[in-house]
Amino acid sequence: MTKILGISGSLRKASFNTALARAAKSVAPGGIAFETATLHGIPLYDGDVEVERGIPAPVADLKQKIIAADGVILFTPEYNNSMPGVFKNAVDWLSRPPADIKKVFGGRPFALAGASPGNFGTILSQNAWLAVMRTLGADLWSGKRLMLPKAATVFDSEGKLTDEETRERVRGFITAFAEYVASTKAR
C-alpha cells in the first residue's frame, strides 16, 4: 500500500485547491491510501515562539503525517504570481528544528499540483516551489504537472469535481505519482 498525503495550501472554505485535494483522494486507484491535510491552526513562524514554547501542536501533527507518508502532494494556490505566504510559512515551520529537515523532506517524494480561477493554473506558484523543495532536499517528482486553470468551470458550488476529463487528468496524475513513489521505495 502506497501512502500519499495531499496538503492544501489554502485556508479558504471554498478553496479550489482543497477541492482538488479531495477530488484526488476520491479518484485514487486501489493500492493507494490517500490522506488530506490542511494548514489550519499553524501560526506565523516566530523564532522566539519556537525557543520559548517549542514546535506548535498543529505543526508537529502535520510533520508526523508527512513522515508517515510515502509521498506528498502540495496542492498550491497561486497568489500574486507566486506561492501563498501561508503555505510557505507552514513549510518554514516544518523545517524546524533544522535537524528535522532530513526526516521530513530529505529524499521524500513530493509533487506539485494546483487549481486556479485564472488562465494559467498555478504554473508560477509551482515554479516558485522548486527552489524551496530543492533546498530542503525533497525528491521533487517531475514526471507530470497538474495545473488546473479556470477551476470555477470544473467544480460545482459545493467543491465537487464535475468535469469527467479533469477527473481523468487528476486520476492519471495520482496514479503516475504513486507509481513513482512505489519505485523509490523499491530502491
Q: Domain with 33 in it: what CATH number?
A: 3.40.50.360
Tell if the pTM clears 0.95, that is, is over it: yes
Q: What's the pLDDT at 185?
A: 80
**Please, which residues have CB within 8 angstroms of residue 41's CB and are 6 or more apart in sequence?**
56, 57, 58
Do the Cβ atoms of 87 and 39 come closer than 8 Å?
yes
Mean pLDDT throughout 135-152?
A: 95
* Phi and psi, residue 106, nearest 5°: -55, 110
Do the Cβ atoms of 93 and 59 come closer than 8 Å?
yes
- The total domain count for the chain is 1
User: Which residues form the domain of 6?
Assistant: 2-185
pLDDT per residue as tens digits for the range 49-81? 999 999 999 999 999 999 999 999 999 999 999
Q: What's the pLDDT at 111?
A: 98
